[in-house]
Amino acid sequence: MNVWFLPPAAIAIAAQLAVGHACGQAAMAPGTESGFALFQKKCTTCHGNPAVERAPLPEAIRSMPPEKIYEALGPDGIMAAPGASLSDPERRRIAEFMSGRPLGSARLGAASAMPNQCRGNPQLPNPASAPQWNGWSSDAANHRFQSVAAAGMRAQDVPRLRLKWAFGFPAGVSANAEPAIVSGRVFVGSDNGFFYSLNATSGCVYWSFEAGSTVRGAATVASITAHAASRYAVYFGDGRANVYALDARSGALLWKSRVDEHFVARITAGPRIFKGKLLVPVSSSEGFSAGTPDYPCCTARGSVVALDAETGRRIWKAWVIAEEPKPYATQPNGVVLSGPSGGSVWNTPTVDPRPPGSEGWGTVLPMTGGFQTTEPVQGTYTYSISCAGA
């Protein structure tokens, strides 16, 4: 057994036979989400307030590394005054939530700093030539099953699995992303803002890519033709609603596309590739603030976005709630409430390729969480969107 790199938050992501399956949805870093409520309470009086012109918008603070936000709030920082009303753990929580990654991750996460780099980096063989688990599930219907041939193992082999290697995400706090195993490589995101490609047999690392924010959904690999030097692309989304296509062999960025403008919009599940389109589920962290009286709840809406898998160009965006949120009440504390909102899409869309009528039509089935309207109703539902050529 080879153990390459084992910081306190180390996570074993592969067993002796590669099986890409991890159930459960753990929270992000413990307590980190409460950083958002703290930000609403202590910071939005200026940040996001048009009357305070020089204060960067919350969205601009979200694109800063956690170290910069943490330092700004410290005794010598530019935000020492608001920072003084916070404890050190609270300052850390704000910094980590707003940036979407743990303190220290930018310095430690790059593959180039790791001792276990792969010696060569050959072309990827055809994915069909090796066992694989590509994306969140083995097919467009989101089945959690694959055949003996595709898995390269039988059910009765499972009790005999033993740890072969382990890989730790430097500065990582929790592991949410399901690894994709394609062409003998592991593709996996982490909450430290980096995305990694490893050798499935040895655990050596081919490359890392710094997305800059948590990557907590499964990645998907597919062939690509529009980029001369690239044969396969790996696709995933991050905690700031960016979608990336990287060259699967080298990790080079092919395109990046933002799929939602809301400042707490994020991608919490893997995209689905279907007939040349990348179907991306969009959710948000706004629910964490909904119970804070100071927060002007709520304006984020879930959606599914279709991108051209070759270029990242947006083809369509289907909102779970079609109506745009607008103000509907003012609380006694002066905070204006808006709605309807919610309907985050938390999972990889399921595609039903059967045509409801004409050829080229499909139905995308995103699973959503709760939603809120201006009426006093709450609910959870599964939603289906019929789109031309889905």
* Cβ count near 52 (within 10 Å): 10
**What is the rounded CA–CA span in Å between residue 328 and residue 311?**
40
Is residue 363 within 8 A of residue 385, CB to CB? The reply is yes
Helices (H), 215-315: none
- Kindly identify the residues of this chain, within the stretch 81-120, that bind ligand HEC according to CB under 6 A: 82, 94
If the CB atoms of residues 34 and 45 are measured against ligand HEC, the closer one turns out to be: 45
- 48 contact partners, CB below 8 Å, separation of at least 6: 55, 57, 58
- Closest contact distance (angstroms) between CB of 45 and ligand HEC is 5
- Closest contact distance (angstroms) between CB of 146 and ligand HEC is 46
If the CB atoms of residues 24 and 50 are measured against ligand HEC, the closer one turns out to be: 50
> Is residue 50 involved in binding ligand HEC (CB under 6 A)?
no
**What is the rounded CA–CA span in Å between residue 227 and residue 152?**
31
The phi and psi torsions of 21 (rounded to 5 degrees) equal -155, 120
Tell me the residue ranges of DSSP E strands in 150-226.
163-167, 180-182, 185-189, 194-199, 205-210, 220-223
- Candidates 47, 62, 266, 277; binder of ligand HEC (CB under 6 A) is 47
**What is the rounded CA–CA span in Å between residue 304 and residue 367?**
10
> Is residue 390 involved in binding ligand HEC (CB under 6 A)?
no
DSSP 165-185: EEE--TT-----PPPEEETTE
Closest CA to 230 of 201, 257, 251: 251
> Is residue 11 involved in binding ligand HEC (CB under 6 A)?
no
- Candidates 46, 130, 315, 387; binder of ligand HEC (CB under 6 A) is 46
- Closest contact distance (angstroms) between CB of 295 and ligand HEC is 14
> Is residue 72 involved in binding ligand HEC (CB under 6 A)?
yes
- Candidates 14, 29, 37, 61; binder of ligand HEC (CB under 6 A) is 61
Q: How far is CA 307 from the centre of its chain?
A: 16
**What is the rounded CA–CA span in Å between residue 248 and residue 231?**
8
- Candidates 6, 26, 52, 158; binder of ligand HEC (CB under 6 A) is 52
If the CB atoms of residues 86 and 177 are measured against ligand HEC, the closer one turns out to be: 86
**What is the rounded CA–CA span in Å between residue 377 and residue 359?**
38
> Is residue 73 involved in binding ligand HEC (CB under 6 A)?
yes
- Candidates 30, 56, 327, 353; binder of ligand HEC (CB under 6 A) is 56
> Is residue 43 involved in binding ligand HEC (CB under 6 A)?
yes
If the CB atoms of residues 92 and 277 are measured against ligand HEC, the closer one turns out to be: 92
- Candidates 19, 69, 246, 351; binder of ligand HEC (CB under 6 A) is 69
If the CB atoms of residues 61 and 234 are measured against ligand HEC, the closer one turns out to be: 61
> Is residue 37 involved in binding ligand HEC (CB under 6 A)?
no
Contacting residues toward ligand HEC, per CB under 6 A: 42-43, 45-47, 52, 54-56, 61, 64, 68-69, 72-73, 78-79, 82, 94
